[in-house]
Structure formats: structure tokens, C-alpha cells
Structure 1
């Protein structure tokens, strides 16, 4: 089948609500990333979609994996991934989890504090550590600038402490924010990394790897106002390639470059076949009339990020006709289970009736990862994978 037709065919064939992943589409996205950024080693961020089929398909293509804990590490190993292609990318980890990862063969650990370095030295002796450096998060839908990462000044102390503790101060990492929409974010991060590499070299620490983190965007989602997001992906790749050359020239030794894409690989190749619960109309207290489209799927069973972005809706049995401007919400008794109100509503065919199918596109990232076990009794969606043979 041609690109995307397998996914659409599976949506059309489904008679019940289901989440569909196109493994061949994910593979094409992986290949395009490797082509656009030659020489970069991919470590797929498993948190974005940890389905065995997706992990296994990427493993067969040669991807490595960014894991957040021993459970994800064990899953990657079960898919046949060598421990050397897995890193423990979470800076938040207990002594038990460090020891568990070490027993499983992992020797690459992210860190951002001297306390964590001391724990790694105790429970994963001799391992390689890479220090996560904070970024502003500007330009991203989710900035990620508070919980993770340290200042460049602290990074010098952290990697110095790692060397003293008998660990290998192997590298630096950044994360420019999830669904990053600007190339400038990587340019700023690279400037920070270049200055930090120079400072480390002068202290006799010569990193051998730079992890440029996650943040590469999905291409098919809308912003919360319903406008198409048009990230300059070619410009992003160009800035990253130029930055790699800059960092390699600064460092006193050779550098390997890693990237941790998550949503960029899977978001646009996952879609949900849901159905309409009801299209309604009612007045607010201020007298303004609103139309509401309630779906069988929402924030708690597949569309967790609906408060920050919009997923494209397609109504296959109503391609035309008159339209309503409706607010979109999921089925639960939770007011957060809805698209953000800012920016207006979504065009919905007025003829839709309860039970009509609706296809929700570009929702492959975090669709299963954030699903509850059954909030309000609405069960997690079943899923199917097409392609990947």
C-alpha cells in the first residue's frame, strides 16, 4: 500500500473504537531522521510509546533506546537490544533503580546533581554519566525547564564529582522542550554546550558524547487555537548538523552525538478510530450559546495532551454538508477532559449522530502511555499495528 493508506484502511475497517499504529510509517520516519542527521545515534524515548510492537520494530531497524527506569530497560532487552544501546536517561532515580539498571547491563546514566552521582558511584561503579544541562524551553509546547537539568556551573561540579567518584564523566545532554517549534532553541543549546565543553577541557575533562535530547516535533497536530503547526524541520536539522560540527571542533577529543526522539517518530503514525457520543447545544450563564461535540475518547483514554494541542478530526461518513463550530470533549465527568477553550471551536458536520465514526489523527505519541486503567469506567483503547513485516 502507499504511504498512509494502510493506516486509513485499518481505520475504515474498524467497527469498534481502536488505536492503530502504522509500523511502516514509523520506520519511514526513523529513516528520514537518520538521513537528515547523518552520524547521529538514535535513542528512541520509550515513554512516547512503549508498545512491544513499536519497540521491536525500531530495534530491528537499529535504533537504541532512552529508558526511564528498569522496567523500560528490561522491555528493550527483551526486544533483543544490546545493553550498550540503552541509556538510563532519567535524572530522577532511586538507589534501587540504579542498582537494577546496572544488573541489567546498563552503563550509561543521565544525572544533574552530585547527590545522584554519589548514588551511581555506589550502585553502578565505573559507569559513564552524562550531565543534563538546563535550557530555557522557549518555543516548545512543554518547556521542561524546571524539574530536570542543572546550570552550566553546576554541570562542571557534577562531572568533576563523577571523575572523583571513579565514574566516567562521559558527556553532556540537553532537552530543548517537547514539541519544540523553533530551530533557535537548538542553536541556543549548542552555544551553551560549546562554552561548557571548553570549560570542561580546561579542567582536564574531555567528554566523548553529546546527547542533543528530545524535542523534535510531530508534524500533523494543531495548536490549541486550531492552527496548523508548521515546525521548520529542515531548518532544525541544518542547525543541528552545523552545531555538531561546531561542538566537534571545540572539544579536545572525538565526540559521538545522540538524539532522543519520541513523538517525532510515532505521533503522526498513530490514529484512533473513535465514535461520536453526542453533538449538543446549550447556553452558558452569560447567555452565549455553545455547541459541544462529545467523543468516546478523550484525555484519559488516548488524548492526554488535548489541553495543549488539537488533534485533527475526520468524519468519514460526513465529508460535506453544513457545519457547526463545536467545542470538543471526551466522555468522562472531568472538566479537563476537553480541548482548551481558547481560540474557538472545531468545525463539525451538523449531521453527525451518536455512534458515527470519527478518526483522530496524529495521536500516536503518549496515547497509550498516559491512558488510565479505566477512569470513570472508560476502559483503555485496544490497539492494533499494521505493517512492519
Structure 2
């Protein structure tokens, strides 16, 4: 049951399509994470929600930032984050981008190859680097394996190269996969980290931190067939706490930890007010009939991840009445603009009419960052922010919701 009353109130008040972010809900999730993992530095994965108001709010809450480009670094610094709380977490960097980040004051760089280390040494001399270990991504909706990360022996080679080139090899990192649904993935990641920590210690290379990366799951998604995705969050946190203790023992020295939540912080505290374009019923080539619900928002203007998940939908004008199955799709003419590639229907009210509002819940992650600039002429949605009151010690606006026109991120 969706119980974010602030979001529901904002959705009910909206007369036009928009994205709504609940800052207080995001702040509560951030505070909860700090309680679950005391002493762990939180660096928000900006790609999940590069919205100025959200970034500024998290900076006031003391969060740091995982940035993947000089553009994201500039956004974080502009939001008030000190350079020391921002790291360049992308292992893919051009020479110019390394130089740009260094000039902006960033001194912590992710890496996973000797070639990248050499470039960092040239364009960010004396910087700190941490090496990302590869993971299988098993158990995650988006595995993230292959493009980033290296083996344990390769990480040792990277560390030795960094040390030889005058860089401070400061840490290791992992990413267990986005929307990770298992504890086993975390256990496997800690196995890999412990093995490399021991190998590095034998070579006299001592680290000061381990970056646990992203992967903490959102709680409000449905799978592509419409079944609730229920991650074992309590057991995930237990596994992480136990793993950190194990790594501290393996390191034989003081070891700090960093974590990079993205969707975990923002997904469940963002929602979209959209509307129905059409409910239609068509006969297919094989003689079967198929019902389609077309919405004003789809894959290209907010719901990019609809190929792997279904979003929870509410139809405020149709609390009662008959429901039936329909494929949910966006407004464009692209065949990919459909939930589950058009294979799995959702239950929708059969009495909906064009223009009726629909609320798309748990859609606060990647909604703004993945949207196109206007595919088929459907523009990015504006967003609305629900201020978080005076929890940060600053006087907040008396107006409850502030609408801002979305900019291309």
C-alpha cells in the first residue's frame, strides 16, 4: 500500500502532467540508511535523479556525491557540496574530462585499468584512485557486468601501477547490480574484496576505504508481469554490516566505507501525474483481441525502465468499477514504448476516458535523466518539489509545492 501522503496530496492537486519529488521522504530514506549503516559515508549516485532541488537538499543533509562526468561534478559543487565530498565514479573518462574534474577540485577517481591510471597520473597528478572490481550482477534487474570493473589480479596490477606513477591508491569498489534483489550478491562481493585486500596488504599497499557502490533496491516496483518485487532489505543490511566487519579484519588497519545509493533514495519518493491518451481494443493477426492503455508518459519521456518493471498505477477518478487486463504503453509510435515489450498486461479500469488522470508511483529514479529531449514531439515533463520543512535548519518557502520546468540533463 502506497502511503506517502505528501506525494498523494501533490498528485491530487496537480491538473497537468508533471513529476513530483517528495524531499522529506528522500530525507527520511537518507536518515534511515545512515542508521542502518552507521559511519558509512553516503554519496548519492547523481545519475538516478540529477534534479537541482534534490541534489541541493541532499547536500544540506550532509550527503556526498558519486558523479560520472564533469557536468555532474559541476552540478554537485553548485548545490553546495565541497569538492572533497564528490568523487569521479565513472571508470570511463577521456583525458579532457579527467583534467576538467581535477580543475574543479575533485581528487578521488574510480578506475579499472592501467590505461586509465596512466591518464589520471598525467592529468590529475597526485590524485587518489580506487579500483572497481567486476561482479557478475546476478540477482539484479540490471546486472552492470562487463563494461566496468576488473578481476582481482588485475586490480593488484592497477594498484601497483598507480603507486609507481605517484598516485595514492586509496581503495576498492564494487557494484552488485542495480536493484539487487539478493543477499548472495553482496556476500560474493565481500569475498572478492577480502581476497584483493589481503593480496594488496602482502605487497605493502594499504587502503583507507572500500566503496560498496550502488545496488540498494527501491521497494515499490512490480516485476514485468506485475508481481510485487519485495527485496530482503533487512537481510541485505545485515549482510553488509557483517561484510564490513570482515573487511576490517582482512585489512588489518582502519578502513572507512562509502556507499552510492541512487534509486534506493529517490525512486519511492517520486511519482508522475500523467493522463490517459486512449483505451483501445484491437483484433490481432491471429484473431485474438488485445486491449491497450496508452498513457501520456512512456519510455521516452519518463518511464525508460518499463521494459524490466511495471510501475504501480492509480486511477483517482476510477476507485470503483470494472477492471480488466490491458497492455500499458506510452504515447509515441515506437513499438518499444510499451511495458514488458507488450507481453504482460496490467489491470486497468475499463471505464477510463481520454484525459483522465493516472498516477505512476515509485517513479522517482531515472525519470528525468533517461528522458529524451522530445522524441516524437513529446516533451520532457516538468517537475514539482515538495519542500522538506525546516529539518535542515533553514526557513522553507510557505508555498507547499514549487513547479519547475525540466531542463535537459
TM over 0.5, shorter chain: yes
Query: Using the alignment, how far apart are the partners of 2:149 and 2:22 within structure 1?
Result: 34
| Partner of residue 397, structure 2 | none
Which structure 2 residue ranges, 5 or more long, are not aligned? 390-409
- Once the 2 structures are TM-superposed, how far is the Cα of residue 76 of structure 1 from its aligned partner? 0.8
Which residue number in structure 1 is paired with residue 260 of structure 2? 260
* Partner Cα separation in structure 2 for residue 249 and residue 177 of structure 1: 25
| Contact kept in structure 2, 1:134 and 1:148, CA below 8 Å | yes
- Give yes or no for contact 2:224–2:344 (8 Å, CA) kept in 1: no
Q: For the Cα contact (< 8 Å) 1:24–1:388, is it kept in 2?
A: yes
Q: What SS class does the counterpart of residue 347 from structure 1 fall into?
A: strand
SS in 1 for 2:300: coil
Give 2:333's aligned residue. Answer: 333
Q: Cα RMSD (Å) of the superposition?
A: 1.1
Equivalent residue, structure 2, for 1:173: 173
Whole-Å Cα distance in 2 between the matches of residues 148 and 110 of structure 1?
10
Matched, 1:27 2:23: no
Q: Which residue of 2 aligns with 1:120?
A: 120
1:298–1:329: 8 Å Cα contact kept in structure 2? yes
Q: Give the whole-Å Cα distance in 2 for the aligned partners of 1:261 and 1:179.
A: 10
User: Shift in Å at residue 342 of structure 1?
Assistant: 7.2
Q: Is the 8 A contact 1:112 1:132 kept in 2?
A: yes
In the other structure, the counterpart of 1:55 is: 55
Match of 1:225? 225
Residue 388 of structure 1: how far off its partner (Å): 2.1
Q: Answer whether contact 1:270 1:363 (CA < 8 A) is retained.
A: yes
Q: Give the aligned partner of residue 407 of structure 2.
A: none
Report the counterpart of residue 345 of structure 1 in structure 2: 345
Structure 1 residue 341: Cα displacement: 4.7
SS of 1:161 mapped into structure 2 = helix
Q: Partner residue of 2:357?
A: 357
Match of 1:143 in 2: 143
Q: Is 2:203 the partner of 1:211? A: no
Give the distance between the partners of 1:384 and 1:282, measured in 2 at CA: 36
Distance, in Å, in 2 between the alignment partners of 1:283 and 1:341 is 18
What TM-score comes out, normalization by structure 1 length?
A: 0.98
Give the Cα–Cα distance (whole angstroms) in 1 for the partners of residues 354 and 40 of structure 2: 48
1:274–1:358: 8 Å Cα contact kept in structure 2? yes
Residue 305 of structure 1 corresponds to which residue in structure 2?
305
Q: Aligned partners of 2:56, 2:210: CA distance in 1, in Å?
A: 26
Aligned runs of 1:227-242 on 2, under 5 Å? Answer: 227-242=227-242
Structure 1 residues 341 and 117: alpha-carbon distance in aligned structure 2, compared to 1, 3 A threshold? closer
Cα distance, 1:146 vs structure 2: 0.9
* Structure 1 pair 291–358 and aligned structure 2 pair: CA distance change class (3 A): same
Match of 2:387 in 1: 387
Find the aligned partners of 2:269 and 2:249 in 1 and give their Cα distance: 37
Deviations 1:322-381 (A, max 9, x none): 112000000001000010157631111111000000000000000000111100000110
- What secondary structure does 1:273 align onto? strand
* CA offset digits 1:79-108 (Å, max 9, x no partner): 111111000000000000000100111000
1:112-160 CA-partner distances (Å, limit 9, x unpaired)? 0000000000000111100000001000000000100011111010011
CA distance, structure 1, for counterparts of residue 376 and residue 343 of structure 2:
28
Deviates more, 1:339-348 or 1:49-58: 339-348
Asked if the contact 2:306–2:340 (Cα under 8 Å) also holds between the matched residues in 1, the reply is yes
Residue 101 of structure 2 is matched in structure 1 by 101
1:387 CA drift (Å): 2.1
Residue by residue over 1:252-299, the C-alpha shift from the partner in whole angstroms, topping out at 9 and shown as x without a partner, is 321110000000000000000000000010111111111000000000
In the other structure, the counterpart of 1:376 is 376
Aligned residues: 388
Whole-Å Cα distance in 2 between the matches of residues 138 and 343 of structure 1?
24
Hey, what's the Cα distance between the residues in 1 that align with 2:28 and 2:280? 40
Contact 2:327 2:343 (C-alpha < 8 Å) held by counterparts = no
**Equivalents in 2 of 1:38, 1:331: separation in Å?**
45
8 Å Cα contact 1:225-1:342 kept in structure 2: no
- Who is 2:36 aligned against? 36
- Aligned partner of 1:16 in structure 2 is 16
Residue 183 of structure 1: CA displacement?
1.1
State the shift of 1:225 in Å. Answer: 1.0
Give me the TM-score of the superposition, normalised by structure 2: 0.94
